Amino acid sequence: MKSIQELLKPEQLKKDYSDYTIIDPLLFAPKLNRLLRSTEFRREAHRCCVAADAVKRWEVLEHFGFDRYPEPRRPLEGEQFLLPWQVVTLDWDWDLGPGRRPIYHQFVMPSLCHWRASLDLMLARRLMPDFDWVVVSAERHTAVMAPAEQLIWDMSYFALDVSAQDALETMFGDDLTSQDYELFEEEYAFSRNTVELIHIWDLIDGYSEDKRLSVIQGMGGQLDELRSQERSAEPELLAA
């Protein structure tokens, strides 16, 4: 039997390309709904939301020149955990027809694949435990896959009607030859940058309201100084 690494090599991906499928979550609707309502999975979804929100808040800081305190997303009144739709800014479902939405739509996180992968991995392993599920994380997309079965578990891409073939090309390049990805065969971990941002926000959010903005402005000043030093060092490095 081939290893995961062998199954993800360009020659094998090209061979299996047309056989890959993104699984329809509604095939597992009763069990999936129970899992998504459970405290265990709501807690994991909350963790993913906090991570995605930390990155988004930092982007807001940079956009406004470190002169604004972006409030964190908080659980709705009466709720213990955040839901993914609270941190999604893309209006992905505007053209869906009338009728009751499936529960999994609350957990669709378009453009936030790098932060929701741990939740998808937990779900895939619980719903289909006989398959070897792994996380493949490339620069442009992160997905949960069972390469031996040519399966992808990606609730967001399925809801967005993205094909498995498009998912593969996003991760491995149009010619499927890119090997610039990380493979997580056990647990999926957030990037070091995300972890650091979560810690930074934990610190800032713990300050008083009056102190938060001054701390943020001080951080902005330090970053400007570091960037200035880097720019001034570039001509010296080129000359060397």
Confidence label for 234 from pLDDT (cuts 50, 70 and 90):
low
The alpha carbon torsion through 163, 166, 170, 176 (nearest 10 deg) reads 130
Q: Which two tokens stand for residue 68?
A: 């604004």
Q: Looking at the structure, do residues 20 and 139 belong to the same domain, yes or no?
A: yes
Q: Which helix (H) or strand (E) holds 136?
A: strand 134-138
Residues 125 and 97 in one domain: yes
Are residue 127 and residue 231 in the same domain, yes or no?
Answer: no
State whether 215 and 132 are in the same domain. Answer: no
pTM given for the model? 0.87
Same domain, 67 and 183: yes
Q: Residue 101 — very low, low, confident or very high, per pLDDT cuts 50/70/90?
A: confident
If asked whether residues 128 and 217 sit together in one domain, one would say no
239 pLDDT more than 70? no
pLDDT over 90 at 164, yes or no = yes
Among candidate residues 97, 141, 118, 109, the one with its CA nearest the CA of residue 40: 118
152 with 224, same domain: the answer is no
Which residue has 């529960």 as its token pair? 103
Higher-pLDDT residue of 110, 240: 110
Examine the domain organization and report whether 185 and 229 are in the same domain: no
Residue 137 in contact with residue 182, Cβ under 8 Å?
Answer: yes
Q: Please state, in angstroms and rounded to a whole number, the distance separating the CA atoms of residues 168 and 154.
A: 12
Q: Given pLDDT bands bounded at 50, 70 and 90, which one contains residue 75?
A: very high
Using the predicted structure, report yes or no on whether residue 192 has a pLDDT greater than 70: yes
Please indicate, yes or no, whether residues 100 and 180 belong to a single structural domain of this protein: yes
Q: If pLDDT is split at 50, 70 and 90, which confidence band does 148 have? A: very high
- Select from 43, 174, 184 the least CA-distant residue to 119: 43
Share of the chain above pLDDT 90, in %: 80
Which tokens hold the place of 219? 């951080």
165 shares its domain with 225: no
Q: How far apart are CA 121 and CA 127, in angstroms?
A: 10
Which percentage of the chain shows pLDDT scores above 70? 93
DSSP H helices in 88-154: 113-127
Q: Report yes or no: 165 and 18 within 8 Å, Cβ to Cβ.
A: yes
CA 20 to chain CA centroid, nearest Å:
21
Number of domains present in the structure of the chain: 2
Indicate if the pLDDT at residue 236 is higher than 60.
no
On the question of pLDDT at 235 being above 60, the answer is no
Q: Are residues 127 and 94 in the same domain?
A: yes
- Host domain of residue 19: 4-206
Per-residue pLDDT tens digits for 219-232: 988 887 777 766 66
| Pair 168, 64 in one domain | yes
Using one digit for the tens of pLDDT, what is the confidence trace for 122-135? 999 999 999 999 99
